Amino acid sequence: MGASPRWKVYTFDGEYVASTSDPVYAAMVVAGIGHAGTTIRDGHSKRTTVFTDGMRTVAGEVLHASESFDRVAEVCQANAKTLQDGRRLARLNS
């Protein structure tokens, strides 16, 4: 049996609705829900949220999943890498 898909989608009120193996598919689910505040997480923990629909990104853009699935996937992957690097750094410093 394979591992659970990496990318998890939660509604704005915290209901778990989907998991996907590709952040592009997660963006499609978020766009289908169509409600600002829906999140994509790299796992189930709230602290691993890598995208929130309708919120401002680090680059300062307000991004909705319905605007660009590919851009959302880029944001997810970049934020997941940042989270992973931060955890790695914390382990090295402890």
Per domain, the residue ranges of the chain are 7-93
- pLDDT above 70 covers a percentage of the chain that reads 91
3-class DSSP state of 27:
helix
Distances (CA, A) of 11 to 36, 39, 74, 82: 9, 6, 20, 23
| pLDDT of the residue at 47 | 94
- 2-44: pLDDT as tens digits: 788 999 999 999 999 999 999 999 999 999 999 999 999 999 9
Beta strands across the sheet bearing 49-52? 16-20, 7-10, 39-42, 49-52
In the predicted structure, residue 94 carries a pLDDT above the cut 60? no
Average predicted confidence (pLDDT) for the chain = 91
CA 75 from centroid of its chain's CA atoms: 8
